[in-house]
Amino acid sequence: MTRVRQDRAIRTRGVILRAAAQVFDEYGLAGSSISKIMTRAGTTQGAMYFHFKSKENLARAVINEQAADLSLPERPEGLAQLIGLTFFLAREMQSNVLFRAGVTLAVEQGQVGLRDFSPYDMWADLFRGELEAARSKGELQDDVEVGEVAQLLVAAYTGSQVMSNLLTGPDRADLPERIGRMWRYILPGIAQPDRLAELREVAERAGTAA
């Protein structure tokens, strides 16, 4: 019986989390409310407050669990996989509500006094792993500092999706194109010259697929 209750609680929490993501995505942080999220989730006040004590608590959960529904690489493989990953994230930004809401809230979190940088650190660590794999494969220029480039990519990606949202709306229609431009100018600064043409082709194919 205890296990059944635990499983039910886990499912209920997941339903509330994804309902919150939908509401935050539609109304923004300021325009969302616990009552709207409860209605969307079809849950009771007791169930809501058992899992989440406030709207801010829910926002933090959506921010930190933004990648819960993503199929991310199991191990780092280098620049080609890193390029493909960024285009994959661009597609997911257009269709995955939990991911999109989590990323948007991470940008807007200052509105409610949150200062949670853990999602940015998570993506920087993921990108750094791919860059370290690239280094071991001889894909990077000798003077590239992988930690700095990982942080740069997170900042460039974040800025690209914010601009895409402002100019094309929540579906971020031009985000893959923006990610393509990002790589067009970053790759010459980090990749070994003899790998540049191959990697540019990888980015072009990934952008077309996106």
Average of pLDDT values for 1-23? 87
**Concatenated DSSP letters for 34-52?**
HHHHHHHHT--HHHHHHH-
State the burial class of residue 122 (Cβ atoms within 10 Å of its Cβ: 0-12, 13-18, 19+).
Answer: middle
Q: What is the model's pTM?
A: 0.91
Question: What mean pLDDT is reported for the chain?
Answer: 93
**pLDDT exceeds cutoff 70 at 1:** no
Per-residue pLDDT at 9: 85
Distance CA 155, CA 139 (A): 22
**pLDDT exceeds cutoff 70 at 111:** yes
**Residue 142: which pLDDT band, with cuts at 50, 70 and 90?**
very high
Residue 106's closest CA among 47, 141, 157? 157
Residue 137 CB contacts under 8 Å (≥ 6 apart), including other chains: 78
Residue 79's closest CA among 204, 200, 207? 200
pLDDT in tens, 146-180: 999 999 999 999 999 999 999 999 899 999 999 99
Per-residue pLDDT at 101: 95
- Rounded to a whole number of angstroms, the CA Rg of the chain reads 19
Structure tokens at 156: 């460039």
Residue 185 CB contacts under 8 Å (≥ 6 apart), including other chains: none
**Residue 43: which pLDDT band, with cuts at 50, 70 and 90?**
very high
Residue 172 CB contacts under 8 Å (≥ 6 apart), including other chains: 90, 93, 94, 100, 161, 164, 165
Residue 197 CB contacts under 8 Å (≥ 6 apart), including other chains: none
**pLDDT exceeds cutoff 90 at 125:** yes
CB 94 within 8 A of CB 171: yes
Distance CA 127, CA 156 (A): 12
Alpha-carbon separation of residue 120 from 72, 93, 117, 150 (angstroms): 16, 15, 5, 10
Per-residue pLDDT at 210: 55
Residue 51's closest CA among 11, 1, 84? 11
